[in-house]
A and B are shown apart, each in its own frame.
Chain A
Amino acid sequence: MSVTSSTPPPSAADPVGTALSPIPPAQIDASCRLPLVVLFLSGAVWLVIASAFGLLASIKFHAPGFLADSAWLTYGRVRPAGLNSLLYGFCVQAGLGVGLWILARLGRTTLAKPGLVAFGAACWNLGVTAGVLGILAGGSTGFENLEMPRYAARVMLLGYLMVVLWGVVTFHRRRERPAYVSQWFLFAALFWFPWIYSTANLLLLAFPVRGMAQAVIAWWYSDNLLVVWLGLVGLATVFYFLPKLTRRELYSRYLALLTFWMLILFGSWGGIPMSAPVPAWMPVLSAVATVLTVILVIAVALNVHLTLEGRCSEFLATPSLRFIGFAVLAFIVAALMRIMNAVPEIGRVTEFTWFTPAREFLNSYGFFAMAMFGAVYYIAPQLFGQRFPSAGLVRAHFWAAAAGVLLYVVPLGIGGIVQGLKLRQAGIAFTDIAQGTLPFLRVSTLGDVLIALGHLMFLANLAGLVVRFYRALAVSAWAAATAEVPIAEVNA
């Protein structure tokens, strides 16, 4: 509670703040329950699907002929299907769920129209399902991180708008008027996605622009989603849960405000690769903006460090904190890798190599998904007023996920640098370079396996919690319906 209690009391001049008293947390949680169950549970299912596809793609580096007979399961379809399942199925979905809950809790008000939010979430899932099936069927658009076909994108955008509309209304109706830092991040994120997503879909799929302008817009979209949207929601989660779970106050709101501005001003200009066949000002501008994001990395690191007063061991206190701590670390490392990439001497080595997927995975999974796990492990028990069925599985999930991320990112990062150095030497035959990356890729399969195991634990635990709650609800409803009616009532 330290987060909300640390905000100054509403001023007397604020009529709304004085007129309405804060709603108790239990009531807020009850209003969030249905939409969050839909968002979290389907997110967990998408995680399992994503890791199944990821594993399938990874196995193809052990045996290229594995499942080669099936067009649906060829590498070029399975890999984007897996990445899209992770990104749109889990990351965006879990981000929305956690974001809505934080907005409601910080605003001390109930979630507006939970039924419609749940309906929007269902629409989103319908869209993602159609999109992933579309990719497998060969309907990929060919643009990285935007592979889902047009028909799916429409349904997804509609679902997203239905969800965030009520998020905005919830924010507007807040009873605690002063906005905490997490609320700025989340409120901005609500608008960010529909804008970039509709721009990308309109200009790339509905009314496609000509030639290389397509690629530039696709890079712009992809980077805005992976860096800005995931950054906004992920950092909002970190800035909310870190003080709350450690029972401290966030060290500085001004540093957090600086982080916010840097992220939306400079984070949104990245993404154009160093040697892209476009006029030179684009990659240069992109690299300059990317290097400037170092300010926000420093601001985040300082803020977290000073909030904990240097005692990073506090991250080990609870499972949720462990996930959040890992997320902060991964955020810093991934952002530094991205900045390094923008330096020409380094970027020319790492471009076109496995370094890039390693960096993106560290950002979208090591940072964002891990922060979401931490949040869900805290929020879900609040929603149901019950603990998770197995505390051991929560701990096991953390270690599986943390080891999985390391086993995925470290080999691919190193392998990518080796690959890049070899690519710069024309004397080394290409097949030798490709063969040289295989040991690294094969180690990363181990990471994929661990991550997949973690997802199964997450799904089992979450589903167990939900089933137990609704079963109890059903049992008591059944008992009430079949209870003997007291004779006095019948007579009356």
Chain B
Amino acid sequence: MNYGPLIFLATFFALSGSWCGFVLTPQLQIGRLQQTNTLGTASTTYPVARPGLAGQGLQVYRANGCACCHSQQVGQTGTILEISLTDAGTNQSSTIAALLDLLKGTDDHPTAFVPLPPLEPAGSNAAAAALQSKLPKALLRTSDPAAAKAAVKTLNATSAKAEFWVVPVGPDLSRGWGKRRTVAEDYLFDFPVMPGSQRVGPDLANVGLRLPDTKWHLLHLYAPQLVVKGSTMPPYPFLFEKRKIERRPSPEALVLTGHLAPPAGYEVVPTPGAVALAAYLTSLRADAPLFVAPLTVASAPTAATTNSQASSLAASTNAVPAQTPAK
């Protein structure tokens, strides 16, 4: 290694290797991703580009370095399956017996199922109550797809209608930070992509899902401690304007009380940057069921579950590939 050209070649080959691995191949694989269809019958293309205002908000997010403290990626440790009853059927006693059988298991094969709240503690009374409650309702939980399929079959044989739901799990998801892990598809139309490396503040991948109110976000940006007790976030007063009320108060003015309230005759209104940022934050939701990250989207149980809703649920479940849960 006494020659410059030799050292140069060594450097060149080492760096080209790494360049091909982590620049070229990612570009070929994920740089060329296209929109995909979401799973389920009401299939839509995903993702869609953010609306204009939210797109501007992304730039406010970038300019103020929000990604220094907030990640936008959630993980999951695995997937579990929930056996859910959509219709109690006509022969409820046999359904109850089947449910209890599933929970009991045999001596050789301990049960693969864990009862969920309405069935807990497991007993015929609880099972009867669970059948009377609002359906569809998840009753059993398992991590074994074969057992889940068998259970659905057993329950369907008792005139009830059952199906299994795919439910991603993990500490991030238990915190309510998302419904499934984030995948490369979720970031397709963003520039720049800021997945973040720090959780000085909570993850924001699905903040629009859990906090859909722009008014909440504006107030939170102006005075974080006012809306989140014990928050360590700095306030962003420069995104707001304190101005004299002209003729009538602005409908956008923040509702402030106590020491934060502006002097009489004044109001605090968000600047266009703050409005855009709030629009961006509420647009953050990565919860569409995808082939690479499946989950069953259960429509909120309504007062009267119609047949069409139940069948669409069943269809969406069937569309989910039998995912092997990580366990």
Contacts and interface: CB of A to CB of B under 8 A. Distances in A.
Contacts of B171: 423-426
Contact of A141 (B3, B69, B192, B228): B192
B65 A279 contact: no
B22 A282 contact: yes
Interface string B230-264: 11111111110000000000000000000000000
Interface residues of A, number: 88
B63 A211 contact: no
A211 B189 contact: yes
Contacts of B19: 195, 199
A279 B10 contact: no
Nearest to B229: A431
A142 B62 CA distance: 5
Contacts of B68: 75-76, 79-80
Contact of B22 (A69, A177, A187, A217): A217
A434 B201 contact: yes
A399 to B, nearest CB: 31
Contact of B33 (A172, A191, A211, A257): A211
B302 interface: no
Given A188-B10, A192-B11, A264-B11, A213 B31 contact: yes
A191 B11 contact: yes
B4 A203 contact: no
Given A76-B68, A279-B184, A285-B21, A352 B11 contact: no
Majority SS at the chain B contact face: loop
Interface in B184-201: 184-201
A289 B42 CA distance: 43
A265 interface: yes
B259 to A, nearest CB: 12
A282 B75 CA distance: 16
A291 to B, nearest CB: 16
B235 A65 contact: yes
B28 to A, nearest CB: 9
A55 to B, nearest CB: 16
Contact of B234 (A65, A147, A217): A65
A139 interface: yes
B30 A188 contact: no
A224 interface: yes
Contacts of A345: none
Quick one: which of A64, A188, A213, A437 has the most chain B CB within 10 A? A213
B230 A431 contact: yes
A179 interface: yes
B73 A199 contact: no
B66 interface: yes
A61 B69 CA distance: 12
Contact of A140 (B21, B62, B181, B233): B62
B22 A211 contact: no
Contacts of A285: 21
A65 B223 CA distance: 10
Interface in A317-362: 351-354, 356-357
Most buried by A among B18, B188, B228: B18
A216 interface: yes
A326 B186 CA distance: 44
A70 B64 CA distance: 11
Interface in A40-71: 60-61, 64-66, 68-71
Contacts of A265: 14, 17
Contacts of A489: none
A356 B196 CA distance: 12
Contact of A138 (B26, B63, B202): B63
A151 interface: no
A211 B36 CA distance: 14
Contacts of A381: none
Contacts of A351: 197
Contacts of A75: 65, 68-69, 234
Contacts of A191: 8, 11-12, 15
A210 B21 contact: no
A147 B67 CA distance: 12
Interface string B265-291: 000000000000000000000000000
A215 interface: yes
B146 interface: no
A278 interface: yes
A352 B230 contact: no
A220 interface: yes
Contact of B75 (A184, A216, A275): A275
A309 B30 CA distance: 51
A209 B182 contact: no
B106 interface: no
A409 B62 CA distance: 27
Interface of B: 1-4, 7-8, 10-12, 14-15, 17-19, 21-23, 26-27, 29-33, 62-69, 71, 73, 75, 171, 174-175, 181-202, 224-225, 228-239
Q: Kindly list the 8 A-B residue pairs having the minimum CB-CB distance in the complex, ordered from nearest.
A: A76-B65, A426-B174, A138-B63, A213-B31, A268-B18, A264-B14, A142-B192, A212-B184
25 contacts: A64-B225, A138-B64, A141-B192, A178-B2, A184-B1, A187-B4, A188-B8, A188-B10, A195-B15, A199-B19, A209-B31, A212-B30, A213-B27, A213-B30, A215-B187, A215-B195, A216-B30, A265-B14, A272-B22, A277-B187, A351-B197, A352-B196, A423-B199, A430-B175, A431-B230
Interface of A: 60-61, 64-66, 68-71, 74-77, 79-80, 138-144, 147, 168, 171-172, 177-179, 183-184, 187-188, 191-192, 195-196, 199, 203-204, 208-217, 219-220, 224, 257, 261, 264-265, 268-269, 271-273, 275-279, 282, 285-286, 351-354, 356-357, 419, 423-426, 430-432, 434-435, 437-438
Given A74-B236, A172-B4, 15 more contacts: A65-B235, A66-B234, A75-B68, A76-B69, A79-B65, A138-B64, A140-B62, A144-B197, A147-B65, A178-B2, A187-B4, A211-B189, A212-B26, A268-B17, A353-B199
